[in-house]
Amino acid sequence: MERRVVVTGLGAVTPLGMGAQPTWDAMRAGRSGITNVTLFDASAFASQVAGEVKDFDPAAWMERRDVRHTDRFVQFAIVAAKMAAEDSGLDFDTVDRNRMGVLIGSGIGGTWTWEAQHRILVERGPGRVSPFFIPMMIIDMAAGRVAMLFGAGGPNSAAVTACATSAHAVGDAAEIIRRGDAEMMIAGGAEAAVSPLALAGFCAMRALSRRNDDPPAASRPFDRDRDGFVMAEGAGILMLEDLDHARRRGAAIHGEIVGYGMSADAYHITQPSPDGSGMARSMEAALRRAGIGADDIDYINAHGTATPTGDPAETRALKTVFGERAAQIPCSSTKSVTGHLLGAAGAVELIACLYAIRDRVVPPTINLDNPDPECDLDYVPGQAREMRVRTAMTNSFGFGGHNATLIVRGYD
C-alpha cells in the first residue's frame, strides 16, 4: 500500500519576517515586504525594488566559521531548516537518521559568492580566489549542509527548475517517502539573488517592475497596470513524514500532501505558452495523483508573478482545468506582498496554503486596483477572506517551461 505523506514542520525566512508564522501573519494582513534595494547601491538600475530579508544575522543561528564559508542562500536554507525541525518536534536522537533525507533546491544559487570571487580574480589574480568558492556557490550545497547539520543520511538531492524549484523539491521529496526510500524528508528551496549581477540580468530582460517610487505597490499580479515581477529572497523549508511515522511519535500534523503534478511547456526559454496548456497539464496531473476532481479544490495559490504574459496564461490554464467553476474558486497571489522568491517561492506558498487550511482564511492579492480584462477570475483583491479551506492547490512555473503543482489538504 502506498504511503501517505504529511507535513509536520514549517520554516520560512522571507521579506515578511523570520519564521513561517510571521510570514503568514503579514500575508494574511496584506502587508507588503517590498522596499527599495538596500543590499547594494541600485541607483543605476532600471528596477530598484526588491523583497529583501531584513536584519538577517546568520551568526545568531550558525557558527561564525560556517557563516564565513557559506553563501547567503545556504544560510537562509539552514535557518529555515532549523525552524522546520524545531516546529516538527522531532527528537533526532530517537529517530533513524539514515531514513531521513534532504531535498533543497535553488533557482540561481550562490550569486553573491560568484560575484565576489570574480572581482578577486580580476583585481588580484587566480591565486587569490578562495578555496571555498566552489563549495559555497554550488546549488546542492544547501541540501548537503542541512544533511550534515542533522546527520540525515538518507536520499539527498537538489532541484533546479528556476521558479518551480522548491515546488519540485517538495513534490519529489514526497514521492521518495511514498515509495518507501525515506520516512522523513527536509524539503524546500532557498534563494539569495538580490545581487548586482542577477538584478542587472533580470533588468536586461525587462522582466522586473520599474515602479521605483512606490515599492509596496510594485508587485501587481493580475492588475492591468502591472509591469513585471519584483525580485525577492529567502527560504521555505518543510519537514515531511510518512504518516505512520508521524503518528507513532505523536506529531502535530499541519496537513497532507495528496497531489503533485509536473509538465513542460516545450515552448520558449522564458515565456509561457500563451494558451496555458503546459500549466493546465501540470494541474491536471496533480489532481489525478490526488485522486480528486476539480470540484474538490477550495483555494488556489496562484503563480501570479505580475508579468504581462504569465498572468493571462495562468488564467487561461485555470479555465481549462476548472471550467465554469474557475470563476468561483478563490485564487490569490501572495507574491503581491512577498515579491518573487524565485526558487524558494513554491515552498513558501505551500506554507501559505497550509495556514489557509488551518485558519480558515484565504490571503489577499494586494495592489489589484484595475483588474486586467484578460484576468477575470476571483483573485481575492485587497483583503483576506474568511472561508473554510479543506483542500488547496499551489502553482509554480519557471523559465524553461518547467511547471509544478502541489495539492494539500487538512489532516483530521
Residue from 340, 353, 375, 402 carrying the catalytic annotation: 340
At 391, give phi and psi (nearest 5°). Answer: -135, 130
Residue from 69, 163, 245, 402 carrying the catalytic annotation: 163
Other CB atoms within 10 A of residue 405 CB: 32
Other CB atoms within 10 A of residue 125 CB: 9
Residue from 69, 168, 245, 303 carrying the catalytic annotation: 303
Classify strands 5-14 and 234-242 as parallel, antiparallel or unpaired: antiparallel
Hey, which bits of 208-279 come out as E strands?
234-242, 255-264
CA distances to 22, 61, 309 from 83, rounded to whole Å, are 12, 10, 36
Closest of 234, 334, 230, 191 to residue 13, by C-alpha: 234
CA distances to 1, 211, 335 from 36, rounded to whole Å, are 52, 10, 16
Enter the C-alpha cell of residue 316: 487561461
**Is 303 considered catalytic here?**
yes
List the alpha helices (DSSP H) in 63-127.
Answer: 64-68, 72-88, 111-124
Helix (H, G, I), strand (E, B) or coil at 223: strand
Closest of 125, 30, 144 to residue 78, by C-alpha: 144
**Is 375 considered catalytic here?**
no
Classify strands 184-191 and 234-242 as parallel, antiparallel or unpaired: antiparallel
**Could you identify the residue written with the cell 522546520?**
84
**Is 331 considered catalytic here?**
no
Bridge-partner residues for 234, per DSSP? Answer: 191
What is the tally of helices (H) and strands (E) in the chain? 13, 15
CA distances to 278, 312, 319, 330 from 309, rounded to whole Å, are 14, 6, 16, 21
User: What is the 3-class SS of 187-246, one letter each residue?
Assistant: EEEEECCCCHHHHHHHHHCCCECCCCCCHHHCCCCCECCCCCECEECEEEEEEEEEHHHH
Closest of 342, 50, 366, 391 to residue 169, by C-alpha: 342
Catalytic residues: 163, 303, 340
